[in-house]
Amino acid sequence: MKSPTEGIVYLVGAGPGDPELITVAGRRLVREADCVVFDKLVDRRLVALAPPGAERIYVGKAAGSRQHTTPQSRINEIIIEKAREGKRVVRLKGGDPLLFARGAEEAECLQREGIPYAIVPGVTAALATAATASLPLTHRSCSSAVAFVTGHEDPAKAQRLDWTNLANFPGTLVVYMALTRIGSVAGELIRHGKDPKTPLALVEWGGTNRQQVLTTTLADSADRPSPTQLASPVIAIVGEICEYRERLGWFEKRPLFGTTILVPRPAEQVASTVDQLERLGARVLVEPLLRIEPCEETEPIDDAIARLDQFDWLVFTSRNGVTHFLDRVWEHHGDLRRLGRCRLAVIGPATGEALAEYHLRPDLVPEEFSSEGLARSLIAKGHRGPALLLRANRGREVLQDELRGADWPVETVRVYRQTDVEAPSDETRETLRRGGVDWVLLSSGNMARGFVRWIDQEMEAAVRQKTRLASISPITSAVIRELGHDVGAEASSYTLDGLVEAICSQTSRHGG
């Protein structure tokens, strides 16, 4: 146990790339970390679990480069330096820290320097790939042993692999970091006695929704260039067990497998939607089009809170409106008893769920989840009670206008503001440019405008040919069409769940 001023390093296996496959212990340690030092293959959502004030240090391999941005010697120095600052350091490594991950070298270094450390195992790529690519590493009928082999030995030392023993190994061979060496590996195995007809599976991003599998034989791969349709990370599995893939396959049968979906909203607002899409097999990119921020001018909000007893209805048109308004009440005006006699109206279930987080229930949820539907439902109540509309700094005026047209006393207060994110991240931009995004989820007209604003000349053709836009409602669809784009799917129920259902329906109908 570390003392209050003594640092400690945890060498934590992050799993194969799916953030769901980290261990419970690993996830807890990331959430408690003062500093996270992480590799390229670590999903950024795991890094985001660290506390807001935690230091995050990337030490992975640069895209398109064979050189690490940070040499191993410098990585060792970093984790020692941070531990000596008294920090709880999580060294987050893809797969398992002690299987072809140089974790033993880091542990030796920490041991020499007298730095306390602990090792937390992770799901290694071989085990994840066995499950998701349906390549059982053992089977009573053909494989009772498994050998793990690296495609990249220490270049400073003589080759240590015993090809004769590997060629005659009575079981499954798993070759890590295999892509650039698979031709020579297959050739060596054949030259040392392995049957050229032995099945071989190459798996890119095994264990994740980005997974691709290429099945072949040693003979078809021996001494040939790496297959161009795959990119690192790739693991190779050699043996008769590859024949079970077609019989046992399940991972690729999920309805959205092979589909990449862009969800342009803040991650904390769409966690359940992202989980749902990923369970259905999609690769999900979360990239907010809009920043959600508190209003700089808080006097109108505070004035409205001070006069809450004058209103019969508090009307919320978004989850953000709920959180920003109620947080302001809680933090600066006592507690939620200030809502007193006010009844609560919300535009839809998601906004109602936001109220539930404050132990409140809406008095009114319209059947149609739109501003028009909310206006009709309020007007149908008959009583023209004074209403306080709590909303963003921009958006449609329909709700306010409809209520005033029905002689409702209405006051509008802007409780948060939306600002544009001018450009997507490099990863998202490049994926859009090469036509790698199949669907974009658009849950408002503002998001549709923001997405079209993102599309530059380099992306234009690919987006129009390859990317379909999914709309949450007819109103959002109208905006998409006004912007000159087609609507690929429209939700029948105006919710994120409805959007997911619409995409699944269209994907099933058109085969992807």
pLDDT for residue 158 is more than 70: no
User: Which of the 8 DSSP states describes residue 495?
Assistant: S
The one catalytic residue in 34, 39, 43, 96 is 39
- Residue 261 neighbours by CB under 8 Å, 6+ apart: 277, 282, 283, 284, 285, 437, 438, 439, 440, 441, 503
For the residues 434-449, what does the mean pLDDT come to? 93
**Interaxial angle between packed helices 319-332 and 299-306, expressed in degrees from 0 to 180 and rounded to the nearest 10:** 70
- The CA angle 207-210-213, to the nearest 5 degrees, is 75
CATH architecture of 260-289+421-510: 3-Layer(aba) Sandwich (3.40)
C-beta of residue 335 within 8 angstroms of C-beta of residue 461: no
For the residues 22-27, what does the mean pLDDT come to? 98
User: Which of the 8 DSSP states describes residue 482?
Assistant: H
- Counts for the chain of helices (H) and strands (E), in that order: 20, 20
Q: What percent of the chain has pLDDT over 70?
A: 95
**For residue 17, what are its two tokens?**
């790339």
pLDDT at 502: 95
The one catalytic residue in 61, 312, 466, 497 is 61
- Residue 246 neighbours by CB under 8 Å, 6+ apart: none
Question: Higher-confidence residue: 424 or 340?
Answer: 424
CA 192 to chain centre: 44
Among positive and negative, which fits the CA dihedral 383, 385, 391, 396?
positive
Range list for CATH 3.30.950.10 in the chain? 127-253
pLDDT at 357: 92
pLDDT at 64: 45
Look up 177 and say whether it is catalytic. Answer: yes
For the residues 424-449, what does the mean pLDDT come to? 92
pLDDT at 61: 59
CATH of 127-253, one of 3.30.950.10, 2.60.40.2140, 3.30.1180.20, 3.40.1030.10: 3.30.950.10
pTM tops 0.75, yes or no: yes
Report the topology of domain 8-123: Cobalt-precorrin-4 Transmethylase; domain 1 (3.40.1010)
Q: Where does 104-194 show beta strands of DSSP type E?
A: 117-120, 146-150, 172-176
pLDDT at 1: 45
pLDDT for residue 62 is more than 80: no
pLDDT for residue 63 is more than 60: no
Look up 303 and say whether it is catalytic. Answer: no
CATH of 293-420, one of 3.40.50.10090, 3.40.190.10, 3.30.70.20, 1.10.20.140: 3.40.50.10090
The one catalytic residue in 18, 34, 43, 177 is 177
Mean pLDDT of the chain: 90
Look up 39 and say whether it is catalytic. Answer: yes
Confidence class for position 156, pLDDT limits 50, 70, 90? low
